[in-house]
């Protein structure tokens, strides 16, 4: 029990549910807020009370300080927990809470402001003796000047949004000729995500390891670190799998990083939970002089459960206690590492299609917790993954006595996980947990990119077992007799008067036309679907309005009967149709009808969930039609650009 009696959670999804669980255990009254899109969300159901704060768009709901504070006052909330994302690192939000007499469960506004801009933060911690990555962290933003600084630093370089986080506004540039386009994209993405287009340019560390230190400070001058987490498995600079402790971490490096992290926190008068992130050169193992400060996240991290697993602590409880004015419960010498923990972020995205976010209703969801496995989620079966927010479905956290045991438990849990509706990265995560090089400790932040085809299963294509199971379900649904009107002529079990026969059956597999063969044996018997040799995965079939979703080996395949009326006659046979890969906003269009384009040329940019996705020409040809303008909202699968290819001509 803390001195606080109530808390408003200014967030949604998994982290809101996570905070509510601890708050209730401590006896706090919990108050949720929700947008129109989240009216039926899990965090709303778990809280003691819930209040609407606006439309689905975050800018009109979860980012509205005035509306959240209005709810806090009307509900009598003594404190506000910001979670992570949204307003969690906004100093003006912390100041507004203080002005309203409400306890902000987080650091002081001054600490958030000091660490919120990467350039200023690097200068500040450098003065405190913390090593920083070489680069340009100044105020000038002219493209030619930044290009000159990049050349002086030496390629490869990393462009990073000054106010950034979560991989947004970040680009790795290997060649000088690519710098201008990368800078433009990073600045535009930074403006859209943070309202600040400024960037810094840093040396890109070869074979980088991303290692971060969890720190905690109270208002009484006490500060500790709760050891490290390794977050090197990333794609698009976003973390995928995190673990604690870091593999191959020597005690002297852990001590050096811990001291540096605590000094960085003390330099800004920090109070509460924070994470100091370092980049380390992993080419010859971790060394005391081989790591550099990247940034400090002035909030709870997504990956905090792995620290909780190896320390046996509840970090959200510590946040509440520190916010209530209590001293830290433990001193540095009281803290110890117990075993190993690893966390996988389960997202609604399609790894085989470049990790494009996927939206839609969760028609089936099974997240099996078990021995040594914890599941944190903010959704249930039947909920909708919308295009308005982060596409996280859940976090799976496995703990064991050893790293191998933790990874085994994670892989086994992922093998039992079922997601149907939006595409999900289940199979990708399982492949990572089982990857031989990763398990041997031979990895860095480029590991996923180097092994992308093998990890995503892209090269293997669609599992014939999934196609077979889907077609069998479709045929059974079509052939099933109406209740009470069974007839031998309607049966799908192979009843026939003649010899065995085979029949081509048209079907749409992931929207692409395909034919499979239906075979009835001579003399009757079970129908067989000939779709090729499968890979042994046990398929799960989930019906939809038009067809079925089949999940096999963690990968989802949509199978539908073709609709003879669903034909784009104007562009039938056009091999150069460019469609929107997901629901989002068309940021830019770079071509007009009549222009010649070459295969791979950038044609347009679609933004979803604050991340940009470039659309490239599938072949050489001439643009015949552009159906949408920049700024328009486009639906997944919408035809945006048509190209008459040389084959069409």
Cβ-based neighbour number of residue 128 at 10 Å:
14
Q: Which two tokens stand for residue 96?
A: 């507004």
Distance (Å) of CA 612 to CA 74, 169, 214, 236, 550 = 39, 9, 30, 11, 29
CA distance 225 to 324: 20
Nearest alpha-carbon partner for 349 in 583, 12, 86, 513? 583
For residues 232 and 209, the answer to whether their CB atoms sit within 8 Å is yes
For residues 102 and 79, the answer to whether their CB atoms sit within 8 Å is yes
Q: Which two tokens stand for residue 289?
A: 């002089």
Q: How buried is residue 180: exposed, middle or buried, by Cβ count under 10 Å (0-12/13-18/19+)?
A: middle
Question: If you compute the radius of gyration of the chain from its CA atoms, what whole number of angstroms results?
Answer: 27
The distance of Cα 531 from the centroid of its chain, to the nearest Å, equals 33
- Contacts by 510-517, CB closer than 8 A, 24 or more apart: 510/462, 510/557, 510/558, 511/558, 511/637, 513/562, 514/467, 516/467, 516/468, 516/471
**Cβ-proximal residues to 241 (8 Å cutoff; 6+ apart), any chain:** 233, 342, 343, 344, 345, 429, 432, 433
Q: Is 401 left (phi over 0), alpha (psi -120 to 50) or beta?
A: alpha
Nearest alpha-carbon partner for 649 in 617, 625, 624, 626? 624
Q: What is the DSSP string of 157-190?
A: EEEEEEEEETTEEEEEE-SGGGHHHHHHHHHHHH
Cβ-based neighbour number of residue 647 at 10 Å:
12
CA distance 492 to 169: 55
Catalytic residue among 171, 172, 198, 299: 299
* 299 is an active site residue: yes
SS3 (DSSP) at 529: strand
| Helices first, then strands: H and E counts in the chain | 17, 37
CA distance 382 to 392: 15
Active site residues: 299
């Amino acid at each position: 029990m803390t001195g606080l009696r109530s808390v408003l959670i200014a967030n949604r999804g998994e982290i809101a549910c996570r905070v509510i669980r601890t708050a209730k255990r401590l006896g706090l009254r919990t108050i949720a807020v929700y947008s129109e899109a989240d009216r039926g969300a899990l965090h709303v159901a778990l809280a003691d009370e819930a209040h609407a704060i606006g439309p689905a768009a975050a800018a009109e709901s979860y980012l509205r300080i005035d509306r959240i504070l209005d709810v806090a006052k009307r509900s009598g909330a003594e404190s506000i927990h910001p979670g992570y994302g949204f307003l969690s690192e906004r100093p003006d939000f912390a100041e507004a809470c203080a002005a309203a007499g409400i306890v902000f469960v987080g650091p002081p506004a001054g600490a958030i402001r000091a660490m919120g801009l990467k350039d200023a933060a690097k200068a500040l911690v450098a003065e405190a003796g913390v090593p920083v990555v070489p680069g340009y962290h100044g105020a000038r933003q002219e493209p030619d000047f930044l290009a000159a600084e990049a050349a002086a630093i030496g390629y490869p370089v990393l462009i990073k949004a000054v106010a950034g986080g979560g991989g947004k506004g970040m680009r790795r540039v290997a060649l000088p000729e690519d710098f201008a386009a990368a800078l433009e994209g990073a600045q535009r993405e930074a403006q859209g995500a943070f309202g600040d287009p400024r960037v810094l340019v840093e040396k890109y560390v070869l074979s980088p390891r991303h290692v971060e230190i969890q720190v905690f400070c109270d208002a009484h001058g006490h500060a500790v670190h709760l050891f490290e987490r390794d977050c090197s498995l990333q794609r698009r600079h976003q973390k995928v799998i995190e673990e604690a402790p870091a593999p191959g971490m020597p005690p002297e490096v852990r001590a050096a990083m811990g001291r540096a992290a605590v000094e960085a926190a003390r330099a800004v008068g920090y109070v509460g939970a924070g994470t100091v992130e370092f980049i380390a050169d992993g080419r010859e193992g971790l060394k005391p002089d081989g790591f550099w400060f990247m940034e400090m996240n002035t909030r709870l991290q997504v990956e905090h459960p792995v620290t909780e697993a190896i320390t046996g602590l509840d970090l959200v409880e510590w946040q509440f206690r520190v916010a209530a004015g209590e001293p830290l419960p433990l001193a540095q010498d009281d803290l110890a590492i117990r075993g190993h923990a690893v966390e996988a972020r389960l997202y609604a995205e399609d790894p085989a299609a470049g990790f494009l976010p996927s939206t839609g209703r969760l028609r089936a969801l099974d997240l099996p917790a078990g021995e040594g496995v914890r599941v944190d989620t903010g959704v249930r079966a039947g909920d909708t993954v919308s295009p308005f927010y982060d596409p996280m479905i859940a976090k799976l956290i496995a703990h064991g006595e050893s790293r191998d045991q933790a990874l085994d438990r994670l892989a086994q849990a992922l093998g039992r996980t079922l997601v149907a509706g939006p595409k999900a990265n289940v199979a990708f995560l399982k492949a990572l947990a089982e990857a031989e090089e990763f398990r041997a400790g031979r990895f860095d932040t480029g590991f996923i990119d180097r092994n992308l085809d093998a990890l995503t299963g892209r090269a293997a294509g669609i599992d014939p077992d999934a196609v077979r199971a889907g077609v069998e379900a479709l045929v059974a649904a079509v052939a099933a007799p109406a209740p009470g009107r069974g007839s031998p002529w309607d049966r799908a079990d192979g009843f026939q008067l003649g010899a065995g026969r085979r029949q081509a059956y048209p079907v749409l597999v992931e929207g692409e036309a395909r034919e499979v063969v239906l075979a009835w044996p001579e003399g009757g018997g079970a129908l067989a679907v000939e779709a090729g040799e499968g890979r042994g995965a046990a398929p799960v079939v989930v019906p939809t309005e038009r067809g079925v979703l089949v999940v096999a080996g963690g990968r989802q395949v949509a199978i539908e009967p073709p609709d003879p009326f669903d034909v784009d006659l104007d562009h039938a046979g056009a091999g150069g149709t460019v469609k929107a890969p997901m629901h989002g906003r068309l940021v830019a269009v770079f071509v007009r009808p009549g222009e010649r384009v070459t295969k791979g040329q950038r044609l347009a940019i679609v933004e979803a969930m604050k991340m940009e996705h470039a659309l490239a020409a599938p072949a050489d040809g001439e643009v015949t039609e552009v159906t949408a303008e920049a700024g328009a909202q486009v639906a997944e699968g919408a035809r945006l650009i048509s190209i008459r290819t040389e084959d069409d001509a």
